[in-house]
Amino acid sequence: MRLPTQFSQRTPLRFNITPLIDVVFLLIIFFLVASHFVRSEQAEPVELPLATAGEVDNEQAPYRLTITIGQDGSLFINGEAVTEAEVEQRIEELRPAAEAAGVTPEVRLRGHKDGQYGAMRKLIEYCAAQNIRSIRFAVTRQGEQ
């Protein structure tokens, strides 16, 4: 007895890559959204003061606290308005966490060019009281306006 030929032939395997493409697109969307939130530390727009010299600082430091000081003296961290007590608490938490990782803690101050210096002075003094010695000021270099 002879078997029919159509049943004896095997069909080649075909991979369905549609789910793989869906996963890749979801990963792309995830990383785009995540990178947006990483950059949100500078979400509060302020006009930075002009400087004749300065260094470009695009590297991400894990133990850096960026504080934005508005023209009216309001404080922002990660684009959210915070009180002075909340900023002081974040500064207090920064140093022990950074020292446990063996890294120097850093505070970056972004102050409005027409703002009053008093709020920034308080933050500098508080950082000094907490033994944080690395304080950077965000500026706009002349010609980059």
Alpha helices (runs of H) in the chain, residue ranges in sequence order: 5-8, 18-38, 84-100, 117-129
User: Is residue 18 in some structural domain?
Assistant: no
What pTM did the predictor assign? 0.64
CA 65 – CA 63 distance, rounded (Å): 7
Q: What is the CA radius of gyration of the chain?
A: 26
Any domain includes 103: yes
Domain tally, the chain: 1
Residue 116 contacts residue 73 (beta carbons within 8 Å): yes
Domain enclosing residue 130, as ranges:
41-141
Q: Are 106 and 135 in contact (CB under 8 A)?
A: yes
Task: Say if 13 falls within a structural domain.
Answer: no
CATH number, residue 79:
3.30.420.270
Nearest to 133 by CA among 109, 106, 108, 111: 106
Domain presence at residue 64: yes
Instruction: Mark the ranges of the chain whose per-residue pLDDT is less than 70.
Output: 1-11, 37-44, 58-59, 143-145
* Of 75, 79, 71, 73, nearest in space to 91 by CA: 75
Cα distances from 37 to residues 31, 40, 116, in angstroms, run 10, 5, 29
| Per-residue confidence (pLDDT) for residue 4, from 0 to 100 | 57
Res 40: pLDDT: 53
Write the burial class of residue 65 (CB in 10 Å: 0-12 exposed, 13-18 middle, 19+ buried).
buried
Q: Is residue 122 part of a domain?
A: yes
pLDDT number for residue 21: 92
The whole-number pLDDT of residue 27 equals 93
Tell whether 25 is covered by a domain: no
